[in-house]
């Protein structure tokens, strides 16, 4: 059985409990794109990784690939975005950001520029009060970066363009619209 180890940083996009103490994670990483991995024993009370792998947390982590799965070895918190988590409107917008990234990027497609853009928008969100504008700018920049919209062309309805690209609606958009208005 071959085994390769890697290290990078990333944003936790999703998590799902698995078995009694494990968790399946989706992380958008700087160097490897969107990764699906297993964090063994992370739900145990004594796990050191437990608090580091919350949705939209930025983490430095290592993982190993073998023939069957990808396993997280270590995780270290870079930024929990605590200022965002304590504000319902900002937390909702963060969930929207990660849902857009989750749905628009195929697994293991590397896109460092998009990763940096997500970090930039999470940083802006810490201090911004113009959340609706921030959401629309994020959608536009993501669509331009990925080649779905020409740079400089007037953007009339970001949500409609995003829905057409994804061929489905963003679930957190409905919640966000009510909160952001």
- Nearest to 104, CA basis, from 119, 115, 92: 115
Task: Note whether 87 and 133 are same-domain residues.
Answer: yes
Place of tokens 């679930």: 171
Task: Note whether 42 and 125 are same-domain residues.
Answer: no
What CATH number is given to the structural domain containing 10?
2.40.50.140
Grade residue 181 by pLDDT with cuts at 50, 70 and 90.
low
Confidence at residue 143, expressed as pLDDT on a 0 to 100 scale: 93
Check pLDDT > 90 for residue 47.
no
pTM of the predicted protein model: 0.88
Q: What counts of helices (H) and strands (E) characterise the chain? A: 6, 5
Task: Note whether 59 and 103 are same-domain residues.
Answer: no
14 is written with which tokens? Answer: 């999703």
Average pLDDT, the chain: 88
| Distance between CA atoms of residues 19 and 43, nearest Å | 10
Check pLDDT > 60 for residue 11.
yes
Q: What is the mean pLDDT of residues 158-166?
A: 85
Could you tell me if 109 and 99 are in contact, meaning their C-beta atoms sit under 8 angstroms apart? no
Check pLDDT > 80 for residue 178.
no
Grade residue 122 by pLDDT with cuts at 50, 70 and 90.
very high
Q: What is the mean pLDDT of residues 7-34?
A: 94
Question: Among residues 49, 79, 109, which one ends one of the domains?
Answer: 79
Q: Which helix (H) or strand (E) holds 64?
A: strand 58-65
Task: Note whether 92 and 73 are same-domain residues.
Answer: no
Task: Note whether 68 and 123 are same-domain residues.
Answer: no
Task: Note whether 49 and 121 are same-domain residues.
Answer: no
Confidence at residue 1, expressed as pLDDT on a 0 to 100 scale: 43
Question: Among residues 79, 102, 136, which one ends one of the domains?
Answer: 79
Place of tokens 């990333």: 10
DSSP-derived 3-state class of residue 93: helix
- Nearest to 120, CA basis, from 49, 58, 44, 179: 58
Confidence at residue 163, expressed as pLDDT on a 0 to 100 scale: 87
Task: Note whether 71 and 10 are same-domain residues.
Answer: yes
Confidence at residue 175, expressed as pLDDT on a 0 to 100 scale: 54
| Distance between CA atoms of residues 141 and 22, nearest Å | 35
Confidence at residue 168, expressed as pLDDT on a 0 to 100 scale: 80
Report which of residues 13 and 159 the model is more confident about.
13
Question: Among residues 79, 95, 120, which one ends one of the domains?
Answer: 79
In total, the chain counts a number of residues equal to 181
Task: Note whether 87 and 176 are same-domain residues.
Answer: yes
Q: CA of 131: how far to CAs of 53, 58, 101, 106, 181, in Å? A: 25, 21, 18, 27, 9
Task: Note whether 15 and 102 are same-domain residues.
Answer: no
Task: Note whether 102 and 149 are same-domain residues.
Answer: yes
- Nearest to 176, CA basis, from 105, 98, 90: 90
Task: Note whether 162 and 99 are same-domain residues.
Answer: yes
DSSP-derived 3-state class of residue 76: strand
Residue 109 lies in domain:
82-180
Chain CA centroid to CA 107, Å: 12
Task: Note whether 72 and 100 are same-domain residues.
Answer: no
Mind listing the pLDDT tens digit for each residue in 59-105?
A: 999 999 877 789 998 999 999 999 999 999 999 999 999 999 999 99
Report which of residues 44 and 50 the model is more confident about.
44
Q: What's the number of domains the chain is made of?
A: 2
């Amino acid at each position: 059985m071959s085994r390769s180890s890697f290290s990078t940083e990333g944003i936790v996009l999703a998590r799902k409990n698995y078995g009694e103490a494990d968790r399946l994670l989706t992380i958008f990483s700087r160097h490897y794109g969107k990764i699906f991995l297993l964090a063994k024993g992370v739900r145990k009370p004594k796990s050191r990784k437990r608090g580091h792998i919350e949705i939209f947390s930025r983490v430095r982590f290592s993982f190993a690939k073998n023939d069957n799965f990808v396993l997280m070895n270590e995780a270290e918190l870079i930024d929990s975005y605590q200022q965002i988590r304590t504000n319902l409107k900002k937390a909702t917008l963060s969930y929207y950001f990660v849902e857009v990234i989750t749905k628009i990027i195929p697994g293991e497609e590397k896109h460092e520029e998009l990763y940096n853009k997500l970090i930039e928008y999470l940083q802006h969100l810490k201090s911004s009060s113009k959340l609706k504008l921030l959401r629309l700018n994020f959608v536009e920049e993501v669509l331009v970066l990925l080649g779905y919209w020409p740079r400089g062309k007037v953007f009339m309805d970001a949500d409609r363009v995003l829905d057409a690209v994804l061929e489905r609606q963003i679930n957190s958009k409905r919640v966000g619209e009510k909160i952001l208005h």
